[in-house]
Amino acid sequence: MDRKDGACLAITVLVVDDSAFMRQLIKQMLESDQEIQVVGVATDGVDALKKVDFFQPQVITLDLEMPRMDGLLFLAELMKKQPLPVVVVSSLAVEGGEKTFKALELGAVDFITKPVSKPSKDLWQIQDELIQKVRAAAQVRPELIKKLPSSTGVESAFFSEEFTTGIVAIGASTGGPRALHYILANLPADFPWGIIIAQHMPREFVSGFASRLNSLSPLTVKVAEGGEEILPGRVLVAPPGLQTGVVKRGNKAIIKLEKSDALYRPSVDYLFSSVADTYKDQSIGALLTGMGADGAYGLKIMREAGSITIAEAEETCVIYGMPRAAVEIGAVIYKLPFTEIPDRICSLLKDNWLRKK
């Protein structure tokens, strides 16, 4: 749809929020970008379903706490009826965080911290991030937006032989939480290597994200701490605002946290590079969906060090940016849909070349 000024073909957006003030504020923020046009607003899920039919937007911004039909019920109906890219605008409340992760599992492609609902200059601090995420969502293919596949129900009694000490390092951005949910839910409880994750995410949600994964996976998942040892079957999520790497201390591998002014904190490149230095060929690197190129060069360093490297295939990526960049520079051995990554990791660990001789 062309903008009224005829300047360009716009990204059309439907804003769904029960607060009249927030509806207007989000509209103003988005339309400060000449390539975005808010074609309609809705007060709740019931209203939104009608307006999706009428306006046919490319992207929806969605509040979760609404009367009549809340955001989660709306998402479930939308995904059955007409899947579209949805960016959740969530509060900082613990309950809101839990609902945000549920929304991602239902098919939302991204989320942003919702500011307090009162006039303030602080509210405008989310403008650039909101615009960026809406623009990214407009690139998502609708056929990829669907409810997360069910877990296959992995049995334990997986590893009965002695294995070398190793690590699986995973990097992700937009679309990563739902892929990580599936991958960790489909690894066995007796998984013999440590796992470390760098996920681009607002700092307020990282602790809740780790707790959510812990409740859904047979493995223990927690936020990484400086000096913490990498242990078999433990999943560590990189904390926000710092660079997370691994280093050797005697016969142990531990977490090293560093301050940084880099764009991404945690950076997947930083994590992967440290894994290559510390674990060499006793490591697997997996780069999942996300915008940009963070992780591509780190994955190449891992491959050059002898690691097995995996990139999520385009067919399941919400945003095929980071994996594409890795493929283009020759960093990737296996290109796999995220639904095949858990089995492949387990198969690789069963191969003789990864066993302790």
Which residues face 286 on adjacent strands? 170, 310
Place of tokens 């239902």: 106
Q: Which two tokens stand for residue 314?
A: 């385009």
CB 311 within 8 A of CB 302: no
Residue 200 among the catalytic residues: yes
Q: Which two tokens stand for residue 267?
A: 């950076």
Residue 181 among the catalytic residues: no
Q: Which two tokens stand for residue 310?
A: 């995996």
* Residue among 198, 121, 114, 182 nearest 147 (CA): 182
**∠ CA 213-189-307, rounded to 5°:** 85
3-state secondary structure 261-294: CCCCCCCHHHHHHHHHHHHCCCEEEEECCECCCC
d(CA 112, CA 30) in angstroms, rounded, equals: 14
Computed from CA positions of residues 52, 136, 27, 3, in that sequence, does the dihedral angle turn out positive or negative? negative
Residue of 90, 91, 173, 283 marked catalytic: 173
Residue of 18, 200, 283, 307 marked catalytic: 200
Residue of 91, 274, 294, 307 marked catalytic: 294
3-state secondary structure of 88: strand
Question: CB-side exposure of 307: number of CA atoms within 13 Å?
Answer: 32
d(CA 228, CA 215) in angstroms, rounded, equals: 21
Which residues face 220 on adjacent strands? 234
CB 13 within 8 A of CB 59: yes
User: Torsion over CA of 214, 220, 225 and 227, rounded to 10 degrees?
Assistant: -170
Q: Which residues, 6 or more positions from 353, have their beta carbon under 8 angstroms from its beta carbon?
A: none
d(CA 237, CA 239) in angstroms, rounded, equals: 6
Place of tokens 């942003």: 112
Q: Where in the sequence numbering do the catalytic residues fall?
A: 173, 200, 294
